[in-house]
Structure 1
Amino acid sequence: MPLKCFSVHCPAIIACGVVGFLCAVFLLLLLAYRMKKKDEGSYDLGETKLTNTAYHKAPTKEFYA
């Protein structure tokens, strides 16, 4: 049964298809961007950075401005 194109329904169907396609492309691009961003910094470049993450006791004297 072929789809009959009525004067009101045909443009609406085409517009919905185009909007749906654009949304799908946008979501795929967003997914690819997030995966690429997630991958950054996850591998060793041979450089070692010293981080100071040791615990330091807070000063016991309070200062007021």
Structure 2
Amino acid sequence: MGSKGRIPPSHLCRLLPGPNPFGPSIRPPYGAYPPFDMLPPPQVMEQKLDAQHVEMQRLVVENQRLAATEA
């Protein structure tokens, strides 16, 4: 069951802050968002989350080092 031709939920249609590539008052077209059946598999999402967690831990250590040198 695909999502072709369906209007995405309203929370996916909100404009993001910052410059709008579609113009100041023009909403992006409904086809601007990927259909739900094109989302990556859960394994890919888990790998991305793991990579983000490793990066956050690296940044924590880097921030702690920086804070220790400024004290």
TM-score by length of structure 2 reads: 0.43
Structure possessing the higher relative contact order (Cα contacts under 8 Å, 6 or more residues apart) = 2
Larger Rg: 1
- Structure number having the greater helix percentage: 2
TM-score by length of structure 1 reads: 0.46
